[in-house]
């Protein structure tokens, strides 16, 4: 019997200790229910990077279920705009033969989330950077797997951005 009492006490303390699961909170104002996400501007030479990043950000916002995405800025409570300012894929490791087998991909963007109801900026970062290392399988070169690598990096970029905006981290 004492075992169950202690277990109950421990559970109650754990519930009330202030611990919460990541992804459960939101730092957005409560009136923001619909967000418009126009196509990010692409200031880089990387083809379709704007399409991939914009779509992944929309996908991540939808997956979190905190807000609805609208294509109509008139019905939106906020607008999330982005401008990709740099994209770089740099080799960071090499094989014995001297070919690159690991790359660091870096994407930087200007991000702005504007509250259309209160006419103020909720979130702004003039240089939001995401970096990811990507391994190139033996016998292939980066150009062969570049599209796959960029897709994965775009997904992680979007997740990082949405977590930063929604959860304030």
Classify residue 17: in a domain, yes or no. Answer: no
pLDDT interval class at 128 (50, 70, 90):
very high
Classify residue 22: in a domain, yes or no. Answer: no
Q: Domain count of the chain?
A: 1
Q: Which domain holds residue 119?
A: 28-167
CB atoms closer than 10 angstroms to residue 65: 8
- Specify the higher pLDDT residue, 132 or 26: 132
CB atoms closer than 10 angstroms to residue 140: 11
Contact 158, 56 (CB under 8 A): yes
Q: Picking from 29-38, 70-79, 88-97, 133-142, which range would have the lowest pLDDT averaged per residue? A: 133-142
Q: pTM score, two decimals?
A: 0.80
Classify residue 154: in a domain, yes or no. Answer: yes
Element (H, E) at 9: helix 2-16
Asked whether residue 17 carries a pLDDT value surpassing 50, the answer given is: no
Classify residue 1: in a domain, yes or no. Answer: no
Maximum distance among all Cα pairs of the chain, rounded to whole angstroms: 69
Element (H, E) at 112: strand 100-115
């Amino acid at each position: 019997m004492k075992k169950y009492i202690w277990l109950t006490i421990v559970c109650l303390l754990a519930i009330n200790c202030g611990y919460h699961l990541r992804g459960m909170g939101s730092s957005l104002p409560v009136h923001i229910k619909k967000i418009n996400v126009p196509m990010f501007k692409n200031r880089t030479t990387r083809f379709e990077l704007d399409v991939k990043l914009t779509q992944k950000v929309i996908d991540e916002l939808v997956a979190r279920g905190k807000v609805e995405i609208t294509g109509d800025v008139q019905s939106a409570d906020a607008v999330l705009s982005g401008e990709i300012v740099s994209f770089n894929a740099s080799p960071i490791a090499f094989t014995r033969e001297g070919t690159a087998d690991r790359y660091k991909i870096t994407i930087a963007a200007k991000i702005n989330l504007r509250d259309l109801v209160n006419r103020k900026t909720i979130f702004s970062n003039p240089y939001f950077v995401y970096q990811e290392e990507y391994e190139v399988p033996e016998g292939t070169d980066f150009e062969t797997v570049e599209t796959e690598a960029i897709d994965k990096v775009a997904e992680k970029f979007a997740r990082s951005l949405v977590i930063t905006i929604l959860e304030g981290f």
